[in-house]
Amino acid sequence: MSHPYAFIIFTAEAIWIGLALRRGHRNLFQVDTLYWLLVGIPLAALLHGLALGALGTSVTVIALKEAINGIANTLIAVCILSPVKRWRRRRNHSPRMRNGCFCRPRS
């Protein structure tokens, strides 16, 4: 790779998602989509337009391609992680005692 701009954009995406998860946001798809709408597309357009000297249509296509790629990757991750989370929750679930003991001693 002759330029580090994609690395900067995707690193910013990872930092954005990490901060959102720390703040309690659990909808990964929504958090990533917001990143691309608010930060990722403008940052990609800025970096590719100014630093690389790309023209208007090329900048738009590159920025949208990177946004679609980032959101699609997040959607794939959510599809993989959702069943894993459910399986882990089910595996760690143990019966709770609500009204005393489950078993009584026999006489």
Domain count, the chain: 1
Residues constituting the chain? 107
pLDDT at 94 over 90: no
- How many percent of the chain have pLDDT more than 70? 84
**What is the average per-residue pLDDT within 30-59?**
89
What span, in angstroms and rounded, lies between the C-alpha atoms of 68 and 80? 18
**Residue 103 domain flag:** no
User: Which structural domain, as residue segments, surrounds residue 66?
Assistant: 5-91
What does the angle CA 26 – CA 31 – CA 36 come to, to the nearest 5 degrees? 165
- Closest-CA residue to 63 (of 37, 39, 41): 41
Q: Are the beta carbons of 30 and 80 closer than 8 angstroms?
A: no
pTM: 0.74
pLDDT at 61 over 80: yes
Could you tell me which residue, 4 or 101, shows the higher pLDDT? 4
**Tokens describing residue 8:** 């900067």
**Residue 100 domain flag:** no
Span 10-31, pLDDT tens digits: 999 999 999 999 999 989 999 9
